[in-house]
Amino acid sequence: MFKGKKTTELLSQVKVFQGLERADLKMISDVCERIAFERGETLIRAGQFSPGLYILVKGEVKVLLPERLKGGKAHRPSEVNLNTLRQGDCFGEYSLLEKSPASASVVGAQAGEVLRIPEPGFNRIMADDRIGRTVYRNLLHILIKRLRKKEEELDLVLVAG
């Protein structure tokens, strides 16, 4: 899907940017950074602020809740795998939108590449009313879809258990 494509072309195929015009995508591509990552590399660490919005171009990442909870007072029996994200998926949005530290870590499940829109660039893009409305609407749809998928997974576990 993304192999050998320019940044603007990549962005045109990503759900979070659907409905934007070519000029908008060009503006977004101008602030993007391409970053390669290795399997096991942490891209976002729970408890730290996300440095930007990430778009997965190649590879796979896992979204993990840490074993130790914030403040270190309590802990989970083990790390919790919330989600596996693949090509075209975005992450880092929670921390950016809430302006708070990330609640989960994002770790490379296999080597790959991301586009990162650093926070200052993301904020400039979102300040444009038309672009901001489109991206927020798309993010809302993406997050709702993830939540519904997780609800279905939990229902299956509860029925089986």
- What's the pLDDT at 89? 95
The answer to the question of residue 1 being in a domain is no
Q: Average the pLDDT over 128-134 and give the result.
A: 96
CATH, residue 144:
2.60.120.10
User: Is the residue at 2 inside a domain?
Assistant: no
User: What amino acid is encoded at 27 in this protein?
Assistant: M
**Measured distance CA(89)–CA(35) in Å, rounded:** 15
> Is the pLDDT score of 125 beyond 70?
yes
Looking at the chain, the whole-number percentage of residues with pLDDT higher than 70 is 87
In a domain, 86, yes or no: yes
Q: Is the pLDDT of residue 102 over 70?
A: yes
Predicted local distance difference test score (pLDDT) of residue 1: 54
Instruction: Determine the structural domain holding residue 45 and report its residue range.
Output: 7-160
> What pLDDT, on the 0 to 100 scale, is given for residue 139?
95
79 in a domain, yes or no?
yes
Mean pLDDT of 100-129: 95
The total number of structural domains that make up the chain: 1
* pLDDT at position 72: 61
pLDDT for 3-19, tens place per residue? 557 899 999 999 999 99
Q: Does residue 135 belong to any structural domain of this protein?
A: yes
- Asked if residue 106 belongs to a domain, the reply is yes
For residue 152, being part of any structural domain is answered with yes
For every residue of 15-63, DSSP letters joined together read GGGTT--HHHHHHHHHH-EEEEE-TT-EEE-TTS---EEEEEEEEEEEE
Look at residue 20 and tell me if it is in a domain: yes
pLDDT for res 158: 65
Asked if 58 and 81 touch (Cβ cutoff 8 Å), the reply is: no
Q: Over the stretch 63-97, which tens digit does the pLDDT of each residue have?
A: 998 876 666 655 766 678 889 999 999 999 999 98
